[in-house]
Chains A and B, each alone.
Chain A
Amino acid sequence: MAAAAPGGASTSSRIYRGNVLRLIGPSWVIIGIFLLIPVILTVVYSFLTKEFRGGVQWTPTLAAYDQFFFDRGLFGDEPPRIEWTYLGIFWRSVWQAASATLLCLVIGFPTAWFIATRDPRQRATWLFMITIPYWVNLLIRTVSMKFLIRDEGPLNSLLMWTGITDAPLGLINTNFAVQLGLFYSYLPFMVLPIYAAVERYDFSLSEAAADLYSGMWTTLRLVILPTVRPGIIAGCILVFIPSLGAFLAPDLLGGAKTFMIGSLIEEQFKGAAGNWPFGSAVATILMTIIMAVLLVYARAQGKESK
């Protein structure tokens, strides 16, 4: 026993290190197979030459990025100008996603606050109720929303029956319908992180603020919001990013009259001509933008914690 003791520490740390490798191995395999390889493939494909009707030729080119940024006219022989088509699609998608995120925040924050301030035993029930709709497939939920807001649907029938409106509101196939769909799809992603932050909030801080003659709004602004901010930001990121690539809601509720980033990419792989490098390039540009936003956020967070 005594003789073994001196070497014991180093042996166990070696065993420990070996175990660590074995233990984190699977997560690296998963990240590698399901994240890194697809992302690298996407980036590589975006620099290859397109083959007509899908597929690629292994000749490197910047044609896909050229198509994204420069407009050479319908027949490709005009002097290049800035191509606004795709930038416009990006801008519309960002705007839609931002509106949906704002809507989620406005409804989600009070909801999360309400749940977090209930009796601890009730909270589980409320959270459970928030998650119930998410047992149903996203497609079915989106179609249901369509049924609800269509001109002949229950919402318009009710409004007309009660005499609030004379004619259907014409909600379907509008940007608002898309935002409503995105909002409904991703609301729990906003509620849950904010709930987690509010639950940890020490309510004696609010009392202390009140003791110092702080009004309700001042307390909210100066005490509560800074404390639960990480939850709000996490919620916004979780809603914004999937909304940005969504194509179900725009297709079903917005009438698919305009491309979103998601449907633009889909068309490159499923459409008649098929342009895989261009689809990959759009995906790569989208990923780059999201990465940049997240990096800026991470830096801001890092500075703050110093």
Chain B
Amino acid sequence: MRTLLATTVLSALIATSAQAQEELKLYNWFEYMPAELLDKFTSETGIKVVMDTHDGNEALLAALKAGKLGRYDLAVPSDYMVAILGHEGMLDTFTADEIPNFGNIEPKWLDVPFDPGRHSSVPYQWGTTSFMVNRKLYDGPIDTTDIIFNPPETLKGKINVLDSSGETLALASLHLGIPQCSTDREQLKALNALVLGAKPDWASFGSDVAKDVLVSGDAAAGMIWSGFGAKARAENPDLEYAYPRQGYIVWMDNLVLLKDAPNRKAALAFMNFMLEPENAGALSNYARYAPGVTGAEAFVDADLMAAPETNPPADGNGVFVETCPQDSQVLYDAIWTNLKK
């Protein structure tokens, strides 16, 4: 009884102190949010932001699965992980009128496949995944995925691919023109044969090192994310980012409203804050990717907005990595293991 009483008093105390200083708990990627923006939010709303960081979508999912759900209000996952979190029932929903700035979302990012109509997420940053080629070593056409999967003689043995089955197999599927989540035997056999056949032409599999190997010249061509590629080009001007005609990968990181959020109101206030063009622009200047917010361009550094890596052609060839159902995902895993055995 005494314990119960003590607990009640204690939780009442905590509740009071929380009212005194409202708190928002954000689970974000590392190095993905400038401290100034959080300070600005606090000074505007009086809500203190507590941010924890994760190092990947799968790490985020694992943490939420392991019992962190209910401890955070907001998280920042990529497109396909938004779909997975939604499917796992880990997201809460909101309506457009709960977020005054909802209308600032760029129309093309409104009806996205991973959250049609945007009921749980708002844009954070977006970019593309493709490859870069060192133009000093190869001056032929690079607007084709042949560079990676059927490389010209001069590039053979000097190619780095991302060490991530999702992106590498998605690009290979685009090369073959087959769906990303196929269960068709012939298509999967062709995919398996394609990557096995291309592997001898690849020097390495690496994601963290994707920029480093291109800058140093260890790789003459390599898959890379757009913003990372822009940084690589700053260090080695011979590099050119390609937009292959068979297609390339588009990704978007998003702020999502988590289920059982301790402070849902503050979470919506923060989403609203990040949809303010000035704030979205400040975020881009820090993270070096494009905002998905109308009017934010005016606040983004001119060189970032002008960079070829930030400006995919309007050819509609960019596609999101899809979230495959289990029966097809296990096949892609088997192909990946077979590739690296």
A positions within 8 Å CB-CB of B: 52-55, 74-75, 85-86, 88-89, 150-152, 172-173, 251-252, 255-259, 264, 267, 269-275
Instruction: Please encode chain B, from 324 to 341, with 1 for each CB lying within 8 Å of some chain A CB and 0 for all others.
Output: 001001111111111011
With a cutoff of 8 Å between Cβ atoms, the chain A residues found around residue B335 in the complex are 74
Contact of B329 among A54, A173, A270, A273 (CB under 8 A): A273
Quick check: B62 and A271 within 8 Å, CB to CB? no
Quick check: A271 and B165 within 8 Å, CB to CB? yes
With a cutoff of 8 Å between Cβ atoms, the chain A residues found around residue B206 in the complex are 251-252, 255-256
Who on chain A is nearest to B335 by CB?
A74
Q: How far is the CA of A255 from the CA of B337 in the complex (A)?
A: 16
Chain A CB within 8 A of B166 CB: yes
Query: Which DSSP category, helix, strand, loop or mixed, fits chain A's interface?
Result: loop
Chain A CB within 8 A of B260 CB: no
Q: A271 and B333 in contact (CB under 8 A), knowing A54-B58, A257-B199?
A: yes
With a cutoff of 8 Å between Cβ atoms, the chain A residues found around residue B33 in the complex are none
Q: How far is the CA of A290 from the CA of B165 in the complex (A)?
A: 30
Question: 14 A-B Cβ contacts within 8 A?
Answer: A52-B326, A53-B84, A54-B58, A54-B65, A74-B192, A74-B331, A75-B331, A89-B341, A151-B217, A152-B217, A252-B206, A259-B337, A264-B337, A271-B165
Q: A85 and B341 in contact (CB under 8 A), knowing A54-B58, A256-B205?
A: yes
Interface centre among A52, A173, A255, A272 (most CB of B within 10 A): A272
Distance from B129 Cβ to chain A, minimum over Cβ atoms (Å): 15
Who on chain A is nearest to B338 by CB?
A85
Quick check: A52 and B341 within 8 Å, CB to CB? no
Quick check: A74 and B329 within 8 Å, CB to CB? no
B positions within 8 Å CB-CB of A: 56, 58-59, 61-62, 65, 84, 88, 163, 165-166, 185, 188-189, 192, 199, 202-206, 209, 216-218, 326, 329-338, 340-341
Quick check: A256 and B204 within 8 Å, CB to CB? yes
Quick check: B185 and A255 within 8 Å, CB to CB? no
With a cutoff of 8 Å between Cβ atoms, the chain A residues found around residue B59 in the complex are 270
Q: How far is the CA of A54 from the CA of B329 in the complex (A)?
A: 13
Contact of A259 among B62, B65, B341 (CB under 8 A): B341
Quick check: B203 and A255 within 8 Å, CB to CB? yes
Distance from A281 Cβ to chain B, minimum over Cβ atoms (Å): 14
Who on chain A is nearest to B165 by CB?
A272
With a cutoff of 8 Å between Cβ atoms, the chain B residues found around residue A252 in the complex are 206, 209
Quick check: A273 and B58 within 8 Å, CB to CB? no
Q: A259 and B340 in contact (CB under 8 A), knowing A53-B84, A55-B65, A252-B209?
A: yes
With a cutoff of 8 Å between Cβ atoms, the chain A residues found around residue B336 in the complex are 267, 271
Distance from A292 Cβ to chain B, minimum over Cβ atoms (Å): 24
Q: How far is the CA of A75 from the CA of B204 in the complex (A)?
A: 28
Quick check: B202 and A257 within 8 Å, CB to CB? yes
Contact of B56 among A54, A172, A270 (CB under 8 A): A270
With a cutoff of 8 Å between Cβ atoms, the chain A residues found around residue B199 in the complex are 257
Distance from A279 Cβ to chain B, minimum over Cβ atoms (Å): 12
Quick check: A258 and B58 within 8 Å, CB to CB? no
Distance from B197 Cβ to chain A, minimum over Cβ atoms (Å): 14
Quick check: A257 and B204 within 8 Å, CB to CB? yes
Distance from B219 Cβ to chain A, minimum over Cβ atoms (Å): 10
Quick check: A272 and B166 within 8 Å, CB to CB? yes
Quick check: A255 and B165 within 8 Å, CB to CB? no
With a cutoff of 8 Å between Cβ atoms, the chain A residues found around residue B334 in the complex are 74
Distance from B43 Cβ to chain A, minimum over Cβ atoms (Å): 38
Quick check: A150 and B84 within 8 Å, CB to CB? no
With a cutoff of 8 Å between Cβ atoms, the chain A residues found around residue B189 in the complex are 74
Q: How far is the CA of A158 from the CA of B337 in the complex (A)?
A: 39
Q: How far is the CA of A258 from the CA of B205 in the complex (A)?
A: 9
With a cutoff of 8 Å between Cβ atoms, the chain A residues found around residue B202 in the complex are 257
Q: How far is the CA of A172 from the CA of B332 in the complex (A)?
A: 29
Distance from B212 Cβ to chain A, minimum over Cβ atoms (Å): 9
Who on chain B is nearest to A153 by CB?
B216
Quick check: B61 and A88 within 8 Å, CB to CB? no
Q: How far is the CA of A132 from the CA of B88 in the complex (A)?
A: 49
With a cutoff of 8 Å between Cβ atoms, the chain A residues found around residue B58 in the complex are 54, 270-272, 274
Quick check: B333 and A273 within 8 Å, CB to CB? yes
Interface centre among A152, A255, A269 (most CB of B within 10 A): A255
Distance from B37 Cβ to chain A, minimum over Cβ atoms (Å): 30
Quick check: A272 and B203 within 8 Å, CB to CB? no
Quick check: A54 and B341 within 8 Å, CB to CB? no
Q: How far is the CA of A86 from the CA of B166 in the complex (A)?
A: 22
Quick check: B185 and A75 within 8 Å, CB to CB? yes
Quick check: B165 and A258 within 8 Å, CB to CB? no
Who on chain B is nearest to A276 by CB?
B62
- If A55-B65, A272-B333 are given as contacts, then 8 extra A-B residue pairs at C-beta distance below 8 Å, sorted by A number, are A85-B341, A173-B203, A251-B206, A256-B206, A257-B205, A272-B332, A273-B329, A273-B333
